Structures are given as structure tokens and as C-alpha cells.
Amino acid sequence: MLIRPPGFRGAAFTTAAAGDMLSGDRGEVSGTLGIRAEWASLRQVHGSDVLTATEPGRAGPGDALVTGARDLPLAVMTADCVGVVLETEDAVGVAHAGWRGVVAGVVAAAARRLEDLGRRPGPVLRAATGPLIGPCCFEVGPEVAGLFHDRHVKSIGGMTTVDLATAVRDQVPEAEWWSVEACTRCEEGWFSFRADRTEHRLATLGWIP
Ligand SMILES: [Zn+2]
């Protein structure tokens, strides 16, 4: 039901079995993780703005959220896009990145903001990507492929696709990365907007216990 990246202070990804995290019951997930049920979140707009959370609720329009506060879960919601958790010595951040966000550099922007946060500023040590639409399924047209570095563009069975996870990892090369190895589009157990225009969302959560 929940995926916990190993070695992280506070990070989790939900699966479809945990329910719709856009409107669903967050109490059960929060209880399982031992975190408060009131999360800080964003009105996600596929850009690169980074907001600092100081309290639960919608922090505003943006696609990355950071905090140095304890016991304040940060959440982004996805269904094919990349959910990212970033940890420094003293702060945590989450980011939502579809292809527009990746091109806009939202994950790099979140990392730079995190470096200055907390009582012990420093680099991103650990980062993780959640379930996302893989290069097996993320077909794009030439206008989108042209926005990515060649090494992130794949040619699979006549399709041109983008490897979003690798493109995200390359934005914070100093971090030690961990990934959920799953494709939301062609594997069971997730939500995929491309598959069926779902309104349900998975959650990516980061917090400081
Ligand atoms: Zn796939």
C-alpha cells in the first residue's frame, strides 16, 4: 500500500490501493506512517516555482515544496508525472515534475532552495523518484523530444519516448538516488492519466519526523 525508500528520514509513495490522495482518506496513510494527517500541498501548475511550507494546507501555486519544520508532511500528487522527495541534513522537499516541469528545471530549483534551508545548510544527500510513466510508454512528439537532452530521448519500437526519471536524476547529480521501478501506464497498481484520464492521484510524501 505504501512504499518507503530505504535510508530516508521521512519519505513515502502511495499506491492505488491506498486510495485517491487528491480527495481520499489521508488518515489511514498518515496513521500507517506515524505522521500528522494534515499535509502541506500545492496547486500544481507544471512550472518550476518552489514554495516554503510553514503550516498544513495549500501553500499556493507551484510545483515544489520545501520545509525545515518538523512534523509537517509535504505532499505532491501525481498520475504519470514524477513525484520526487529530496533530503538534506536539516530540510526536506517534494517536487512534481511532468515533462514541462522537468524542462523548466523544477527539481534542480527545489534542490538549490533546500541547500539554504535549516540550521545546517548543505547539499541534497538523498533523493527518490516515485512511480511514473516510464520510457516504455511516455511517447512524445518531436516538439517535446527536442526540449530534452539526447540521452533522455529513447526510440522504442518506432515510438519516440522520454525517460523522465533519468532526466530528473540528472538535475541533482550530487544526490544519492533511489527509484520506484514501476511504470504507471503499463503496470497494475497505480493511477495513470494517460491510460484513462483518471482524476485519482498518488501521493509523494516527505517529512522531518
Ligand atoms: Zn510502461
143 located within any domain: no
151 located within any domain: no
CATH assignment at residue 120: 3.60.140.10
167 located within any domain: no
Q: Is the pLDDT of residue 24 over 90?
A: no
Range of the domain at 108: 2-133+179-206
Distance in Å, CA 139 to ligand 1 centroid: 10
Helix (H) or strand (E) holding 193: helix 193-196
| pLDDT at residue 92 in the model | 98
pLDDT digits (tens, 9 = 90+) for 151-176: 999 999 899 999 999 999 999 999 99
Distance in Å, CA 39 to ligand 1 centroid: 30
35 located within any domain: yes
Q: What is the mean pLDDT of residues 105-130?
A: 94
Whole-number Å distance between alpha carbons of 88 and 110 = 11
| pLDDT at residue 62 in the model | 98
Distance in Å, CA 193 to ligand 1 centroid: 13
Whole-number Å distance between alpha carbons of 187 and 109 = 30
Q: How many domains does the chain have?
A: 1
Residue with cell 485519482: 200
pLDDT digits (tens, 9 = 90+) for 29-44: 999 999 999 999 999 9
Q: What is the mean pLDDT of residues 178-200?
A: 97
Whole-number Å distance between alpha carbons of 73 and 184 = 24
Identify any residues that bridge with 179 across adjacent strands, giving them in sequence order: 129
26 located within any domain: yes
Amino acid symbol at 92: V
56 located within any domain: yes
| pLDDT at residue 1 in the model | 85
Dihedral of alpha carbons 181, 183, 184, 188, sign: negative
